Structure 1
Amino acid sequence: MMQRSQEVVGKAAVGGPFTLTDQDGKPFTNENLLGKFSVLYFGFTHCPDICPDELEKLAEALDTIEAEAKYQVRPVFISVDPQRDTPKAVKAYVKEFHPRLIGLTGSEEAVKACSKAYRVYFHKTGDSETDYLVDHSIIMYLIDPAGEFVTFYGKNFTARQLADSIMQHIAKWGDSSAAAQEAAAAAARLKTGTAGSQEGLAQR
């Protein structure tokens, strides 16, 4: 659906404002994503295999990007199991995968709102109130330094493919930023030059 949306209107309606709590118990909002590329992954700490596999893949891609592109992407794990995933539990979990991995959780309402914004599906499976699994979307989301959704990666991506794609987007963003800065500088020079010409004519 997101791919189709990107093809039709050029940009998928993914992401938006959210307010969660990080692994240290501090507020973390969408504004904390500004300033550098981020990768978001939604999962839960009691996940037996898929989440660990995906986070290990992400960790490998992060290290590859840092080594080859000299860029530190911000990795973020967002729990879809607020009932069990307290900040303390999330903190213990994320440190197993990467030293820079940020873990987020929150109230049931806050997690649902964030998941809805990113089009993430999740559903608790099992009858027990304490022993259950959570069925959820297996997707990583790339967010640019302006906090905008760029693209997403499914389970089929390898760590190498993930790293290569993210590095391409980093390079493209850098080129765009440089072009924007040059255009702004050119406009400023033109404005100054025009003002100078008018001032000269007035003097004559």
Structure 2
Amino acid sequence: MKYLQQIILYTAITVIVILAGVYFLKAEGTKEQELQVTMVYPKLKTVAPFVLGEGEKTFTQEYFKDHWTLVFFGYTYCPDICPTTMSALKNFYQKLPQEIQEKTQVLLVSVDPERDNAEQLANYANAFHADFDATTGSHEALHKFSRDFGAIYAKSGEGDDYLVDHTGKVFLIDPLSRRYAFINKSMDDPSMGYEYNIEAMLSDYLAILEQN
């Protein structure tokens, strides 16, 4: 009888552990499903060492440390997705509580170094918000940096009025310099085109900060 009671007890404990594990996994899944326009990477990879910009405006991996950083690849001559995305980032940033703003950075990385110098980039980024940063580099440095994010870019057209095709996602880097997530435009409404759902971005971002 005692042996049977032990078996029943062990079985009950095993069932409880399994159910607790299932509940935990479901809870974790629920947290992920709550994110509306943000996709968290299953593995957090540290951004590879890099050098962009020059002189006092040099950007390295250290830039990411101790802040959450939103990185966007674009260029100042971009006619559509860049100004739209930068405006979205401005609206997003301005809606953040002050204490969250102080933990958050926005960095525009220009993929058009032939036309975008440091002064022009600074003026462009600051036209959206005084806290925004911008930089560029040689194509060798840019290709290495963008590939590390899974982003691509390529020149399109000839002459001075060429365009640059580029990845339009916004990437989120955590305070440990790791690629944490990317933010997309509305996943449920293709009609939004280049538009971002600001409220969804805010909700996702604040949820991520709360979980970290």
**TM-score of the two chains, using structure 1 as the length reference:** 0.74
Which residue of structure 2 lines up, in the alignment, with residue 135 of structure 1?
165
Aligned partners of 1:66 and 1:72 also within 8 Å: no
| Distance of aligned partners of 1:125 and 1:60 in 2 relative to their CA distance in 1, 3 Å threshold | same
Q: For 1:61, what is the secondary structure of its paired residue? A: helix
Moved over 3 A (4+): 12-15, 67-72
Identity %: 29
Q: Which amino acid aligns with 1:16?
A: A
Determine the C-alpha separation between the residues in 1 that align with 2:101 and 2:63: 21
Unaligned runs of 5+ in 1: 174-204
Which residue of structure 1 lines up, in the alignment, with residue 140 of structure 2?
109
Determine the C-alpha separation between the residues in 1 that align with 2:86 and 2:103: 16
Which residue of structure 2 lines up, in the alignment, with residue 89 of structure 1?
120
* RMSD of aligned alpha carbons: 2.1
Offset at residue 16 of structure 1 (A) = 2.1
Which residue of structure 2 lines up, in the alignment, with residue 178 of structure 1?
none
Q: Which amino acid aligns with 2:120?
A: A
Which residue of structure 2 lines up, in the alignment, with residue 15 of structure 1?
47
Aligned partners of 1:138 and 1:155 also within 8 Å: no
Q: For 1:110, what is the secondary structure of its paired residue? A: helix
2:203 to 164, 169, 189: 164
Which residue of structure 1 lines up, in the alignment, with residue 10 of structure 2?
none
Which residue of structure 1 lines up, in the alignment, with residue 177 of structure 2?
147
Offset at residue 119 of structure 1 (A) = 1.1
Q: Which amino acid aligns with 2:48?
A: G
| Distance of aligned partners of 1:13 and 1:49 in 2 relative to their CA distance in 1, 3 Å threshold | same
Q: For 1:65, what is the secondary structure of its paired residue? A: coil
Unaligned runs of 5+ in 2: 1-38, 187-195
Determine the C-alpha separation between the residues in 1 that align with 2:167 and 2:46: 14
Offset at residue 15 of structure 1 (A) = 3.3
Determine the C-alpha separation between the residues in 2 that align with 1:144 and 1:80: 23
Following superposition of structure 1 onto structure 2, how do residues 1-204 of structure 1 map, counting pairs within 5 Å?
Answer: 6=41, 10-11=42-43, 13=45, 15-21=47-53, 25-67=56-98, 69=100, 71-128=102-159, 130-156=160-186, 157-173=196-212
Determine the C-alpha separation between the residues in 1 that align with 2:99 and 2:200: 14
Which residue of structure 2 lines up, in the alignment, with residue 176 of structure 1?
none
Larger RCO (CA within 8 A; separation ≥ 6): 2
